[in-house]
Structure 1
Amino acid sequence: MTSSPEDPSLPISEEERESALRRLQEGYAQGHFPHEEMDGRLHQVLTATTHGALVPALASLPAEVNTTATITAGTGRIRRRGAWRVPRTLKVESAFGKVRLDLSRAVIEHPVVDIELQLGTGGARITVPRDAVVDVEDLRTGWKPLLYTARRRARPGGPKIRISGSVGFGRLKIRHARR
C-alpha cells in the first residue's frame, strides 16, 4: 500500500495487493517476522478485499517509503540511461532542453512508476522496458502529437509506467526496448 486511506472499508486494487505482497516479502527477508507467520500473512493479503483487511498482515512492518525525485533544467539536456534506480515518482521539468529517459536497463523496484513531465519547447524521448505497460491518459500535448504505439501483448509481471503532465511545443516519443 502506498498510502493508508481514511476509510478502511475502501476496496483495494490489484496494484495495492501487489505492493502489499512485495512488502511482505521484503519484511520477511529483513527478519521483521518469523517463517511461521508467512503463510498466514500471505493468505490475509491474497484474500483481502478492503484496506482494513490488509492492516493485520502489514502491522509489524515499517512504513513503505514513497520515493520521489525531481530533475530540473532550464536549458540543456536531461539524460538518464544505463542501470539507474528509478524512483516511484519522477518529476521532470525542462523549459527549453531535451529530455532522454532510458528505462530499458534501469532498476525498477516498484510495480507502478509515475513520470510527471513539465516540458516547454524541448522534446522528450522515453524508452521503456519491453514488458512495460504504458499509461498516457493524463498527458497533455500542445503543439505536436504524442508518438507512441502500445504493444499488442504485454508480458505479465512488467512494470506499469504512468506518464502525465504536459508537453508544450516539443514532441514526446515513447518506445519499448527491443530486448
Structure 2
Amino acid sequence: MTSPAQDPASPFGEDDRDAAVRRLQEAYVQGHITHEEMDERLHRVLTAEAGDAIVSAMASLPPQDAGTTSTIAAAAGRIRRGGPWRVPRFLKVESAHGRVRLDLSRAVIEHPVIDIELQLGTGGARITVPRDAVVDVEGLRTGWKDLLYKARRHSRPGGPKIRISGTMGYGRLRIRHARR
C-alpha cells in the first residue's frame, strides 16, 4: 500500500484495496479492533474512491507484523508435511531434486491468507488444501508441465486463501481440495 502514503488523493487500485481489507481482517483476528469497528472500516475501504479514505480507515491500527518466512529446503530427497502441523503466514519450499508433499487439510491455519513460494528444480509437488480454501496460482511459473488444479465450484465462505507463487522447473504441481 505505497500509493496512498505517497499521494493520499490518488485513486486507489484494487490490489491496494484488497491489501487494506486483509489488513483490517488480520487486525480483527488479532483483537486490535472490535467486530463493529471492522465492519465500519471495511465499509469505508470498500466504498473509497481515493487513497485518503483508505488511510483514515487504517489509522490507529498497530504497525503491521510482516510475519516471518519459514523455509523448508532439501537438495535431494522428499519434503513432506502432513497431519496437524502449524502453517506459517509465509512458507518457502526449495528443492533441487525431489518430491514435495504438503497436506494442509488437517493443518493449523491461523492466518486468513497463506503465501507459499515454491522454488523447485526437478520433481513434482502435490498440495492438498482445506475443503473451503480459495487457491490463487497467478504468481506461479511452470517450465515444463502445466499445473493440475480444478477450482471448487461451491466453496463455503470463511476458508483461508492460499496464494501459491514461485517457479517449477521439470515437474508438475498438483493441487487438490480435501474431501473432508
TM-score normalised per structure 1:
0.79
Moved more, 154-163 or 49-58: 49-58
- RMSD value, Cα: 2.5
Q: What is the letter of the counterpart of residue 79 of structure 1?
A: R
Alignment match, 1:44: 41
**1:52–1:83 CA distance, 2 compared to 1 (3 A):** farther
* Other structure's SS at 1:116 match: strand
The structure with the largest strand share of the pair is 2
1:28-43 correspondence runs (5 A): 28=32, 39=36, 42-43=39-40
**1:4–1:140 CA distance, 2 compared to 1 (3 A):** closer
Q: What is the letter of the counterpart of residue 17 of structure 2?
A: S
CA distance in 2, matches of 1:42, 1:82: 35
Alignment match, 1:32: none
Alignment match, 2:27: 23
Q: What is the letter of the counterpart of residue 17 of structure 1?
A: V
Q: How many residue pairs get matched?
A: 170
* Other structure's SS at 1:74 match: strand
Q: CA deviation at 1:174?
A: 0.8
> Structure 1 unaligned runs (5+)?
30-34
CA distance in 2, matches of 1:168, 1:129: 26
* Other structure's SS at 1:13 match: helix
TM-score normalised per structure 2:
0.79
Identity of aligned residues (%): 61
> Structure 2 unaligned runs (5+)?
none
Moved more, 38-47 or 88-97: 38-47
Any idea what the Cα deviations from partners look like across 1:61-83, whole Å, max 9, x if unmatched? 43222222221110111111122
Any idea what the Cα deviations from partners look like across 1:114-159, whole Å, max 9, x if unmatched? 2111111121110011111112222222222222111112221111
